[in-house]
Structure 1
Amino acid sequence: MAKFVVDQAHSALGFEVKHMMVSKVKGQFGSYSADVEAADLTDLTTASIAFKIDVASIDTRNEDRENHLKSADFFDVENYPTIDFKSTSITRDGDDYKVTGDLTIKDVTKPVTFDVEFGGKGTNPWGVEVYGFEAEAKVNREEFGLTWNAPLETGGVLVGKDIKIKVELEVNPAA
C-alpha cells in the first residue's frame, strides 16, 4: 500500500443546504487532514481513506452565520472541534465508486455513502503523478444532532434538513 497526500491548493471540502426553502447556502472547510492509502488509485477499491476536518475553519462568506454554526446551536466547536470520516468499504459502480464509511459529527457516528467519480490521472509539470476525484453525499443534519431551526412566517423553516457534502480532491504520492 502506498500513501498519498491531498493537494489542498487544488482540493475543496464543501457543503450546501436549503435556506428559507427557496435558495441554497454554500460553504467549505479550509482546514483538514487526510490519510489516503492504496495499492493503486486508478482502482479506488484498494484504498483506505480517512479525513479529519477542523470545524472552526468553516467559511460561508458570512461571519455572523459562521459564528452561529460554530456555537452550541450547531457544531459546538469547543466540545467537538473536528468532523471525522473513515472509509469502511469501497465498491465499483460502473466507472465510478461508492465509498461508504463512518461519519462523525459532534458525538454521533453514522454510515454515509459517497458517490465518487474518478477524474483521471496525469503528470504535473514537475513530474509528479496526480489523481483527481469528485465525491458527493447527502445527510440529514438532524440525525447528527444539528437540530437548530427557526420557523418562517410564510411557513416552512429557515434551514433545510438535508446537507449535500461535496468533495473535490487532487492527490499525489507522498514524498
Structure 2
Amino acid sequence: MTKTKWAIDKAHSSVDFSVKHMMFATVKGGFQEFDAKIEADPTDLTTAAIEFTIDVASVDTRNNDRDVHLRSADFFNVEEFPTMTFVSTSSEKKGENEYNVTGDLTLHGVTKSETFTVAFEGTGIDPWGNEKAGFEVEGKINRSDYGLTWNAALETGGVLVGDQIKISLQIQAAKQA
C-alpha cells in the first residue's frame, strides 16, 4: 500500500486520559474536539507524517466543576493556550503492527519530544464503500514537564493530583480520495 491521506472519523474515535487522584484513585477524562492530518501507509507507519491537534477547552471529565478548573490558569489556561498539538518526527517498527511514534508535543506553551506506542488494528470497507483504518495509541507524559504544576498537599501526605498522565487514543481514520 502507498502513503495516502487519512482523515479522523470523529464519531468512531476518542482521545482519553487518566491521572491518579489522592495518590490511590484514578480519574479519567477525554477531549471532545480534535483533528489530525495523517499521511501514511497504515500497514507501514515508519514513513507516516502525523499532525494531531486537540482543543483543550473540550476537556470532559464528567464533572463540570472539575472541567472548569482544568480550563483555568491553574491547569490548561485555555485562554492563552487553546490547543495541544503533536507533530511526528520519526516512527520505528517495534513488532508486528506496532510502532513507537516520536514527535513534538506542545502543551501549555511548552514543546517536548514524546514517544507513543501505536498499534495498527486493521482496515476495512464500511457499508458506504469508504476505506477505514483503525489505530490504538498509548503513552504517558508528566504534566509538570509542561508547566502544569498546580496541586494541593494532602493532610495524610502526598498530593491531590498525580504528575503522570496516561494517554489513550482510539482512532478510526477514513482514506481520502
Alignment TM-score > 0.5, same fold:
yes
Provide the C-alpha distance between the structure 2 equivalents of 1:98 and 1:13, rounded to a whole number of angstroms: 18
Q: Tell me the residue number matched to 2:80.
A: 79
Overall identity of the aligned pairs, in %: 57
Give the Cα–Cα distance (whole angstroms) in 2 for the partners of residues 45 and 143 of structure 1: 27
Q: After the TM superposition, which residues 27-38 of structure 1 pair with which residues of structure 2 at under 5 Å, given as runs?
A: 27-38=29-40
Provide the C-alpha distance between the structure 2 equivalents of 1:6 and 1:61, rounded to a whole number of angstroms.
24
- Out of 157, 160, 163, the position equivalent to 1:158 is 160
CA distance in 2, matches of 1:36, 1:117: 15
Deviation of residue 80 (structure 1)? Answer: 0.3
Would you say the 8 A contact 1:12–1:169 is kept in 2? yes
Residue 144 in 1 paired to residue 164 in 2? Answer: no
Partner of 1:44, secondary structure, is strand
Runs (4+) off by over 3 Å: none
Partner of 1:41: 42
Whether the 8 Å CA contact 1:85–1:102 is kept in 2: the answer is: yes
- Give me the TM-score of the superposition, normalised by structure 1: 0.97
Whether contact under 8 Å (2:101, 2:116) holds in the other structure is yes
Unaligned stretches of 5+ residues in structure 2 = none
Tell me the CA shift for residue 46 of structure 1: 2.3
Give how far 1:62 is off.
0.5
Please give the per-residue CA displacement for 1:44-64, whole angstroms capped at 9, x wherever unaligned: 112100111101100000011
Instruction: Report the RMSD for the aligned CA atoms in angstroms.
Output: 0.9
Give the TM-score normalised by the residue count of structure 2. 0.96
Match of 1:173 in 2: 175
Does the alignment pair 1:8 with 2:10? yes
Give the Cα separation in 2 of the matches to 1:130 and 1:92.
21
Unaligned ranges ≥5, structure 1: none
Distance 1:71 1:81 in 2: 11
- Between the aligned partners of 1:55 and 1:112, the Cα distance in structure 2 is 18
